[in-house]
Structure 1
Amino acid sequence: MVELEEPQYNLNSECWVPVLLSSGETTEVSLRDLFVGSYDIQAIDTGDPLQDTAILGVALVILARATLRNNEIENFGGSPNWIRQMRKPNADNLSGVLQYLEEFNDRFWLLGGDRPFMQVYDLHTARGVTKPVSRLLLDSESEHYSLCAEKTLKSLSYAEAARRLVTIQAYDYSGIKSGAVGDPRVRGGRGYPLGVGWYGTTGKVIIHGANLMETLLYNIEYAQLTEESLEYDKPVWERDKPDTAAPRAYTGGPAAQYKDQPVPASGMCEILTWQSRRVRLYHDGERVTSVLISNGDKWFDRNTYADPLTGYRYSKNQSSKTEQVWMPQAHSTERTLWRGADALLTRLTPESEKQNKPAPVIRQLGLGRHFPADAEVKVQLVGVEYGNQNAVIENVISDSMTLELSLLADEGLSVSHMVRESIRATMDAAIALGQFAGQLLQAAGREYEFRADATEALLNRMEDAFRLWLADQRATEDITEKKKEWQRHVHAVIKHEADLLKDNAGPKAMVGTFGKDSSGNDVLYNVARAERLLFRQLLKIIPLAYQDSASRSNREEPYE
């Protein structure tokens, strides 16, 4: 029997959340002050997008549950009226959420008591072993994390441990865990792989407003704020019974007969605080010195739609004649900005049942009922690329773009369609450059090989210019001129890159090499021929770049 400790370090009153203030200063605040200062806080800013996202998820759930329990939206006559009121800096707006935090204050102790935050107070192994505190760091299993660093890190402050705890529940990697006593899945003292944390299987789409309060309002899915969700969609700290070492799906019986089953989440509040791990922090009275992490609840990912911050992809492999299946959509590490922006601006159409579905918060903005269309927001894409059977984090994905909300609503449909066309044209033009680079190899007497490095380098170089151009789009402006402006920029950049490739191709490529084309005809492969083919392709891909070409050379490129 584990002896109960006195509760320590309450997350409602202790400062543990790093934030960036609107003034540009940084500081740390408590959960309570995160809301009190939400009109003066620009963003949660730990320096790690995964920690930022996990903590934001907790804050979203707190606001959603406080709103539900106080019946605030109905009292204001609907979500649009409530949102308009909440966007105004007013201390009275915060009374409901502060009342909620006070009501559940005892559930936010980081240490001690019988319900430490996101932990199991008596979690232990048969041999009583724990892990070094470095296990709370998600990159501790990566090749970049050295044994020296692990030995140096002896403890964590309570604030740092709290941030890491929330992030572990969200993004922990898969692999063998410590076998906790009471978990029926343990075999031979080990907890076998359960999968990554819920956040890790998704590609988060986060809408940032002018301040933290606006950000919170943008990222709540209002369709989920119902009487049913008030009763069933509860975060971990509201549940009647605390978690144990066993999964919630386990109802007793012989452990050997238990087969772990994924559990569907009841809604956004449950899924955004999903306990994918069982954790216990050990401390010396001043700092966290070790940790125990074992398997938690297995999540269900088929046709859930509970998470408002992720898109959903159609799964052809898992679909059947009787059931169509959508799974959480992860972000790609390649061309994240280009593919992410394209997906962001995609509209659902009745004709295409099997297309991917945008994140619910994006679909909600598309209805145009909740926020002013001329508001400017930053959309951030956050995700993780795991490796080695999901047992290590290889890459953290974080990219962002600024745009006017109208591009996501019906009034901006023509603009968003134009932007998507421009994205596809840019990627096609970049592919044409990769083909040109391959043809230069052929001109120098080598085998033709598509140069993917030239394509990716071009797209990487154009990202900042695209962000500026995208931020400049308005539903009220001439889309033809904006499209032409971008195509001219693409043409200028590709011409510059092509000139560099040509200069490095060597004298043999300039003279050329004879060879056979696909029809068996003799062809002189040289730089001049490769250039002709490149610009012939560009004329088809970005035709507007060639309009008014006589005066274009005297114009300054606006996005350089």
Structure 2
Amino acid sequence: MDQPHQRATRDSRRSYGALMENHSFNLVDEAWVPAVKGGRPMPVSLLDALVRAHEIDGLATASPLETVAVLRQVLLPVYLEACGVPDGEDDWERRWQAGQPEDGVVERYLAGLRGRFDLFGDRPFGQVAGLRTAKDEDKPVSLLVAATATGNNVPLFTPRTEANPPPLTPAEAARAMLAAQCWDTAGIKSGAADDPQMKAGKTTGNPTGPCGALGVVVPIGRNLFETLLLNSPIVRQPPSDDAPHWRRPAMTGAWKNRGALGLLDLLTWQSRRIRLIPERNADGETVVRRVVLAAGDRLQLIPRDVEPHTAWRAVDKPRAGHASTVPVRHPSGRHAWRGLTPLLATVADPDTTFSSSILLTQLGDVDVADLPLQVLTVGVAYGNQSAVVEDVIADAIPLPLAALTAGDVRAVIEMVVEQAEGLRRAGNRLDDDLRRANGGDPVPWDKGLRLGDALIHDLNRVVRRLLAGLQREPDRYEEAERTWRTVAYEVALKAAEPAMAAVSPTAFLGREDGKQKKTYRASLAEVWYQASVRKILGVEPRPHLTTERKTYA
């Protein structure tokens, strides 16, 4: 006799088939991949994105979460399955020199699996056919979009409410679904009717999508093919049972707590069970307004030797049964260059707690000539037990290839990052001292914009120009270092001028702090700050910029 959840599955598939009639959107042929071609953003099909990857500038980054999801969950695994995972440096370099996929390989692969890429087919791509909850509930499609309101996740600036979800085109719905598989919030999820682990219509203990635990680092090339290859890790012995989700048995609402079978399984990890519900709008076009979203597979452990898109930090005292390394996540409100130290840790060093990503590490072992490498960093800051999205962190910076191997260029960059942080702390202390001298209290570290934090923003342009300069001419690292010290010194002194001009006359007489038994004076604060700046940068007072700034910065 059929179990209740088996009967529910069979009945839901009957109704699902009727709903899907006259709806089709095949990702192989339809334009949905957010690309940039000839400097102009335009969507392209999956087939065009891969076959003509060398003619496409890259992926559009208007929505960085979706950009990473499309690359990681579809483009990269299709390329790796069709062309094979590089099995060594020679294989990788051969592909790099070819500059495009082999003729016909991607076409034959997609032709053989074309039915698996229909968003609304009998086996809908990335979804569970006939997925339903015990009460046949569905939710607004905004549940898939981190920047829209749904439930407790209400962004500060949004014109929409959960009762007014945006109608998504099939292309938009596909990208949003992929992003949800990567970044969805944690917490309670609806239980699928055929999920034996469901309790009271819910599943609890769901983690975020797998990318939510990472500080994602994506190397970017001059065109989409270079980007695909730069994101292709060398795997010398791929597991025989590793495969993307579209080549495995059709999913049901039941989920597992398991480890990744390999790279392809990890890239296409189905952390949620999803069903998009299509309908016709007033113009007769297919749109998606409603969705069924339930719990998906839970990743037991992020595999350090497989996960390609994050740097790692060693845990000082790992607990029994826990990993000894954890992914390095991107903090909110910080430019990507401030987190370069772990990204540059491509050479094993017992004195550092960081190690770079697999992809950046292998770039130190292959020949990519004079590639102007860009690095895209993307992450999500969650709040309230990871059940809401507080911030989406995204940045892109130039990264000199010479910095990925031990040497002078790396040393200069690491020095710049360290000194910039030192200047930030000195600026924040000056801000605190001036506020005390004025009779007030320092601004809490997580409230408002302090002088040192504003200084970092002023230095952002300087550091980016330095990185771009070292990318073009790494041999001029000594000149770059001298110029940095000169320019950073002038910027640091200039940043303090408005704060000093704003203090009251009494601040120069000083105010005694009874608790600390210390007198705070504006004049002393200024002297201390200038001395700190000189010590951090190793410079003497200079009334004017030298010509070094003109020749390099």
TM over 0.5, yes or no? yes
Is 2:419 aligned against 1:425? Answer: yes
Which amino acid is the alignment partner of residue 380 of structure 2?
V
Match of 2:67 in 1: 52
Q: What does residue range 34-433 of structure 1 map to in structure 2 within 5 Å?
A: 34-45=49-60, 47-57=62-72, 58-68=74-84, 78-85=91-98, 87=99, 93-113=102-122, 115-139=123-147, 140-141=149-150, 142-144=153-155, 148-153=160-165, 155-222=167-234, 224=235, 226=237, 228-229=238-239, 231-239=240-248, 241-247=249-255, 249=256, 262-284=257-279, 286-320=286-320, 325-352=324-351, 355-367=353-365, 369-372=366-369, 374-410=370-406, 413-433=407-427
In structure 1, how many angstroms separate the alpha carbons of the residues matched to 2:550 and 2:520? 32
Which amino acid is the alignment partner of residue 389 of structure 1?
Q
In structure 2, how many angstroms separate the alpha carbons of the residues matched to 1:500 and 1:402? 32
Match of 1:436 in 2: 430
1:283-311 Cα distance to aligned partner (Å, 9 max, x none): 22522232100001001225543220111
Structure 1 residue 37: deviation in Å? 2.5
In structure 2, how many angstroms separate the alpha carbons of the residues matched to 1:558 and 1:160? 47
Match of 1:255 in 2: none
1:133-155 Cα distance to aligned partner (Å, 9 max, x none): 22222233332376954333363
Which amino acid is the alignment partner of residue 93 of structure 1?
E
- Indicate how the Cα distance of structure 1 residues 118 and 467 shifts in structure 2: closer, same or farther if over 3 A, else same: same
TM-score (norm 2): 0.87
Q: Which moved more, 1:119-128 or 1:300-309?
A: 300-309
1:26-81 Cα distance to aligned partner (Å, 9 max, x none): 21111001113312212221610000000011211111111228xx878x963222
In structure 2, how many angstroms separate the alpha carbons of the residues matched to 1:391 and 1:217? 34
Q: Any idea what SS the aligned residue of 1:500 has?
A: helix
Match of 2:5 in 1: none
Structure 1 residue 357: deviation in Å? 1.9
In structure 2, how many angstroms separate the alpha carbons of the residues matched to 1:457 and 1:479? 27
Structure 1 residue 378: deviation in Å? 0.9
- Indicate how the Cα distance of structure 1 residues 559 and 381 shifts in structure 2: closer, same or farther if over 3 A, else same: farther
Structure 1 residue 476: deviation in Å? 4.3
Is the contact between residue 242 and residue 261 of structure 2 (CA under 8 Å) also seen in structure 1? yes
Structure 1 residue 344: deviation in Å? 1.6
Structure 1 residue 403: deviation in Å? 2.5
Structure 1 residue 400: deviation in Å? 1.2
Structure 1 residue 318: deviation in Å? 3.1
Match of 2:6 in 1: none
In structure 2, how many angstroms separate the alpha carbons of the residues matched to 1:161 and 1:324? 35
1:391-433 Cα distance to aligned partner (Å, 9 max, x none): 11110000111133222135xx211111111111111012112
Which 5+ residue runs of structure 1 have no aligned equivalent? Answer: 250-261
Which 5+ residue runs of structure 2 have no aligned equivalent? Answer: 1-9, 281-285
Which amino acid is the alignment partner of residue 197 of structure 2?
R
Identity %: 28
Is the contact between residue 468 and residue 559 of structure 1 (CA under 8 Å) also seen in structure 2? no
Q: Which moved more, 1:307-316 or 1:436-445?
A: 436-445
In structure 2, how many angstroms separate the alpha carbons of the residues matched to 1:551 and 1:496? 12
- Any runs of at least 4 consecutive aligned residues in structure 1 with deviations exceeding 4 A, and if so which? 145-148, 445-452, 513-518, 553-560
Is the contact between residue 434 and residue 450 of structure 1 (CA under 8 Å) also seen in structure 2? no
In structure 1, how many angstroms separate the alpha carbons of the residues matched to 2:547 and 2:354? 43
In structure 2, how many angstroms separate the alpha carbons of the residues matched to 1:177 and 1:485? 54
Is 2:42 aligned against 1:27? Answer: yes
Which amino acid is the alignment partner of residue 184 of structure 1?
P
Match of 2:33 in 1: 17
Structure 1 residue 467: deviation in Å? 0.8
In structure 2, how many angstroms separate the alpha carbons of the residues matched to 1:387 and 1:80? 43
Q: What does residue range 482-521 of structure 1 map to in structure 2 within 5 Å?
A: 482-513=480-511
Match of 1:253 in 2: none
Structure 1 residue 464: deviation in Å? 2.1
Q: Which moved more, 1:124-133 or 1:211-220?
A: 124-133
1:304-360 Cα distance to aligned partner (Å, 9 max, x none): 43220111222335345x9861122221114242432222222433424x7222111
Is 2:543 aligned against 1:546? Answer: no
In structure 2, how many angstroms separate the alpha carbons of the residues matched to 1:166 and 1:445? 53
- Indicate how the Cα distance of structure 1 residues 416 and 94 shifts in structure 2: closer, same or farther if over 3 A, else same: farther
- Indicate how the Cα distance of structure 1 residues 558 and 165 shifts in structure 2: closer, same or farther if over 3 A, else same: farther
In structure 1, how many angstroms separate the alpha carbons of the residues matched to 2:548 and 2:75? 48
In structure 2, how many angstroms separate the alpha carbons of the residues matched to 1:317 and 1:270? 30
In structure 2, how many angstroms separate the alpha carbons of the residues matched to 1:20 and 1:48? 13
Alignment coverage as a number of residue pairs: 523
Which amino acid is the alignment partner of residue 92 of structure 2?
S
Q: Any idea what SS the aligned residue of 1:110 has?
A: coil
Q: Any idea what SS the aligned residue of 1:390 has?
A: coil
In structure 2, how many angstroms separate the alpha carbons of the residues matched to 1:509 and 1:497? 19
Is the contact between residue 311 and residue 356 of structure 2 (CA under 8 Å) also seen in structure 1? yes
1:456-504 Cα distance to aligned partner (Å, 9 max, x none): 1111222122111111115642433211211111111111111111100
CA RMSD of aligned residues (A): 2.8
Is the contact between residue 20 and residue 42 of structure 1 (CA under 8 Å) also seen in structure 2? yes
